[in-house]
């Protein structure tokens, strides 16, 4: 089996564990936006922004460091044991610290204090399972990984349906149920799903001899701390715009923007599925003499798939908005969608490009690039929101991820040359972006023209890539 075929198969399994939850989350976005007004949806957004920040802090780059050292270590179990003990210890310590800092954290997020317990519970439980999940991925146990993730999904979806739909639909009565506390029930569902995940993966805590290697931990920390800083910067890039819109405009706009932002979920699914399969793959094949060529090929087809996805969503945006969003009050922010999709595609390309600093142990560059992106996000939002409103945040997303993508490429070619087909990638990005914007602003609802755009892009791609595709599909080994 060729390296590329194996990569696609692994990514497909991880994609199953990612796509199904995301597909169900699409349904839940509709449920949430139907049951919760835009101001209430702003509260949901604040909760998950807090969870994202805590996730980065509580893992502090150890997941990426684990893959780097696991791939080259002779005693792989020692690497796993060290990371497991470190993350478990810091998670338990963080629980105490977070509880002591309850007031400033909830004030910063503008999150009601009664939701804080759910936030901390979700964050701690999710941090505790990072090492076991990474170990499953490193060992190629994609099916077990997917099974546990899907059980998490089943619990979360069932409880959301029970609390938000079944109880009012069938007139069920419970002394504890309050129809004015729907946000609480959403957070309870998330906490229950995280708890079930922890219980299912708990046996993996005891499948290896627990040894903490202080010297190894020092190496892991030195590799991982720039990833931590980069992660914080990434959360800023991804979420600060929503908080600033709530502060500088109002919660109604924040909620509408956050709801329409969810229309980029398909691009997010694609990128997340890719990363789950790509990170261990890239490390494990780094010593292959054809690795740079393989990485270049992967990026090209990643860009093609992402560009096609962008076009499909924008060309048929009215269809997607109707199935994803349950209240027309959210549609006021629909114009952000093409730009959020493009920004996220740039982010996916950046994740591809980031392999150079991970393989050369120069993770500090990832930190620098992410801080630059965060700086752009902050400055552009602060300057432009008072002038043009929520579209400022969409433009800032494109600018921040676009700059990060370009600067990572140029530095990467200096330290770890990969023969990317830049002209071909740029052409695909340009064609897809132009077609998407023409569709949105000039041909929205014209299905004949929009279908022609998509078929034209697919046809051009096939004509240019068919020879290489045939070679990849017929190759037996590499």
Return the pLDDT at 8.
60
Give the number of other CB atoms < 10 A from CB of residue 161: 17
175-189 burial, b for 16+ CB within 10 Å, e for fewer? eeeeeeebbebbbbb
* Mean pLDDT along residues 429-457: 95
Task: Provide the CB-side half-sphere exposure for 24 (13 A, CA).
Answer: 18
Task: Report the percentage of the chain scoring pLDDT > 70.
Answer: 91
Return the pLDDT at 478.
44
| Separation between Cα atoms, residue 335 and residue 394, nearest integer Å | 9
Which residue would you say has higher pLDDT here, 442 or 288?
Answer: 442
Whether the pLDDT of residue 16 is over 70: the answer is: no
| Separation between Cα atoms, residue 14 and residue 83, nearest integer Å | 22
Which residue matches tokens 């902050």?
378
* Mean pLDDT along residues 39-67: 87
Which residue would you say has higher pLDDT here, 21 or 368?
Answer: 368
Phi, psi of 383 (to 5 degrees): -80, -40
Give the N- to C-terminal CA distance of the chain in Å, as an integer. Answer: 8
Return the pLDDT at 375.
93
Return the pLDDT at 235.
86
Give the number of other CB atoms < 10 A from CB of residue 59: 25
| Separation between Cα atoms, residue 303 and residue 157, nearest integer Å | 32
Task: Report the percentage of the chain scoring pLDDT > 90.
Answer: 46
| Separation between Cα atoms, residue 440 and residue 446, nearest integer Å | 10
Instruction: Give Cα 20 to chain centroid, integer Å.
Output: 14
DSSP readout, 259-308? HHHGGGHHHHHHHHHHHHHHHHHHHHTTTSTTHHHHHHHHHHHHHHHHHH
Average pLDDT across the chain, whole number: 87
- The three-class DSSP label of residue 20 is helix
Return the pLDDT at 19.
64
Assess contact for 255 and 37: CB atoms under 8 A.
Answer: yes
| Separation between Cα atoms, residue 364 and residue 51, nearest integer Å | 24
Return the pLDDT at 112.
82
Residue 356 makes CB contacts below 8 A (sequence gap 6+) with: 362, 408, 411, 412, 415, 416, 418
Assess contact for 311 and 454: CB atoms under 8 A.
Answer: yes
Task: Note down the domain range covering 437.
Answer: 3-474
Quote helix, strand, coil % in the chain, to nearest 5: 85, 0, 15
Torsion of CA 263, 264, 270, 276, to 10 degrees: -110
Assess contact for 450 and 315: CB atoms under 8 A.
Answer: yes
Return the pLDDT at 166.
94
Most trustworthy range by pLDDT among 267-271, 386-390, 467-471 = 386-390
* Mean pLDDT along residues 333-346: 94
Which residue would you say has higher pLDDT here, 250 or 97?
Answer: 97
Cα dist. 429→102, 149, 262, 264, 311 in Å? Answer: 44, 33, 22, 17, 10
Structure tokens at 166: 């079944």
Return the pLDDT at 15.
60
Residue 167 makes CB contacts below 8 A (sequence gap 6+) with: 174, 177
Which residue would you say has higher pLDDT here, 260 or 456?
Answer: 456
Whether the pLDDT of residue 80 is over 60: the answer is: yes
Whether the pLDDT of residue 153 is over 90: the answer is: no
Task: Provide the CB-side half-sphere exposure for 206 (13 A, CA).
Answer: 4
* Mean pLDDT along residues 130-154: 86
* Mean pLDDT along residues 371-398: 93
- Give ∠ CA 274-278-279 in degrees, rounded to 5: 125
Return the pLDDT at 420.
93
Which residue matches tokens 């997941």?
63
Residue 140 region by backbone torsions, left for phi larger than 0, else alpha for psi between -120 and 50, else beta = left
Q: What is the pLDDT of residues 446-474, one digit of tens each?
A: 999 999 999 999 999 999 988 887 777 67
Q: What is the pLDDT of residues 172-201, one digit of tens each?
A: 889 999 988 898 999 999 999 999 999 999
Running DSSP on this structure, what letter comes out for residue 164? Answer: I
Return the pLDDT at 314.
95
Closest to 330 in 3D by CA, of 70, 29, 124: 29
Return the pLDDT at 477.
43
- Give ∠ CA 103-109-112 in degrees, rounded to 5: 60
* Mean pLDDT along residues 331-349: 93
* Mean pLDDT along residues 129-155: 87
| Separation between Cα atoms, residue 323 and residue 310, nearest integer Å | 17
Overall domain count for the chain: 1
* Burial class (CB within 10 angstroms; exposed 0-12, middle 13-18, buried 19+) of 410: exposed
Which residue matches tokens 């994803």?
324
* Mean pLDDT along residues 356-371: 86
Q: Please, what is the angle between helix 38-59 and helix 182-201, to 10°?
A: 30
Assess contact for 350 and 275: CB atoms under 8 A.
Answer: no
Return the pLDDT at 218.
94
Q: What is the pLDDT of residues 281-306, one digit of tens each?
A: 677 666 777 888 888 888 998 999 99
Return the pLDDT at 74.
81
* Mean pLDDT along residues 254-280: 77
Least-confidence region, from 119-133, 266-280, 361-375, 449-463: 266-280
Confidence of residue 476 (pLDDT cuts 50, 70, 90): very low
Whether the pLDDT of residue 328 is over 90: the answer is: no
Return the pLDDT at 22.
63
Whether the pLDDT of residue 279 is over 80: the answer is: no
Assess contact for 326 and 382: CB atoms under 8 A.
Answer: no
Torsion of CA 416, 420, 301, 337, to 10 degrees: 90
């Amino acid at each position: 089996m060729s390296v590329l075929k194996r990569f696609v198969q692994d990514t497909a399994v991880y994609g199953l564990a990612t796509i199904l939850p995301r597909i169900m989350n699409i349904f839940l976005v509709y449920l949430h936006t139907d049951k919760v007004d835009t101001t209430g949806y702003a509260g949901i957004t604040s909760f998950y922004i807090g969870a994202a920040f805590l996730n980065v802090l509580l893992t502090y780059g150890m997941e990426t460091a684990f893959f780097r050292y696991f791939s080259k270590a002779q005693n792989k179990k020692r690497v796993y044991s060290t990371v497991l003990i470190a993350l478990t210890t810091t998670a338990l310590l963080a629980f105490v610290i977070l509880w002591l800092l309850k007031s400033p954290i909830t004030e910063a997020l503008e999150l009601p204090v009664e939701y804080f317990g759910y936030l901390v519970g979700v964050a701690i439980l999710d941090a505790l399972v990072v090492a076991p999940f990474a170990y499953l991925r490193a060992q190629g146990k994609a099916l077990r990984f997917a099974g546990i993730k899907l059980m998490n999904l089943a619990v979360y979806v069932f409880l959301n349906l029970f609390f938000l739909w079944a109880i009012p639909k069938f007139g069920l009565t419970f002394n504890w149920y309050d129809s004015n506390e729907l946000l609480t029930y959403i957070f309870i569902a998330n906490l229950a799903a995280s708890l079930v995940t922890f219980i299912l993966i708990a046996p993996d805590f005891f499948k290896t001899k627990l040894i903490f290697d202080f010297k190894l931990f020092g190496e892991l920390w030195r590799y991982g701390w720039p990833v931590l800083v980069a992660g914080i910067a990434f959360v800023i890039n991804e979420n600060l715009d929503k908080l600033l819109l709530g502060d500088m405009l109002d919660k109604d706009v924040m909620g509408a923007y956050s709801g329409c932002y969810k229309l980029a979920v398909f691009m997010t699914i694609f990128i997340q599925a890719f990363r789950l399969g790509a990170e261990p793959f890239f490390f494990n094949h780094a010593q292959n003499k054809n690795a740079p060529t393989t990485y270049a090929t992967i990026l090209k087809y990643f860009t093609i798939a992402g560009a096609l996805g962008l076009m499909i969503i924008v060309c048929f945006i009215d269809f997607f908005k109707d199935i994803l969003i349950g209240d027309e009050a959210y549609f006021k922010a629909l114009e952000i969608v093409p730009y959020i999709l493009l920004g996220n595609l740039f982010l996916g390309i950046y994740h591809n490009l980031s392999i150079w600093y991970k393989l050369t142990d120069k993770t500090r560059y990832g930190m620098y690039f992410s801080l630059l992106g965060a700086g752009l996000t902050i400055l552009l939002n602060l300057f432009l929101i008072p002038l043009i409103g929520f579209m400022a945040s969409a433009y800032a997303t494109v600018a921040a991820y676009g700059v990060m993508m370009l600067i990572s490429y140029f530095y990467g070619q200096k330290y770890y040359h990969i023969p990317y087909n830049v002209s071909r990638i740029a052409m695909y990005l340009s064609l897809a972006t132009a077609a998407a914007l023409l569709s949105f602003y000039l041909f929205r609802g014209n299905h004949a023209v929009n279908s022609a755009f998509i078929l034209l892009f697919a046809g051009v791609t096939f004509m240019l890539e068919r020879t290489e595709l045939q070679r990849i599909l017929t190759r037996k080994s590499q």
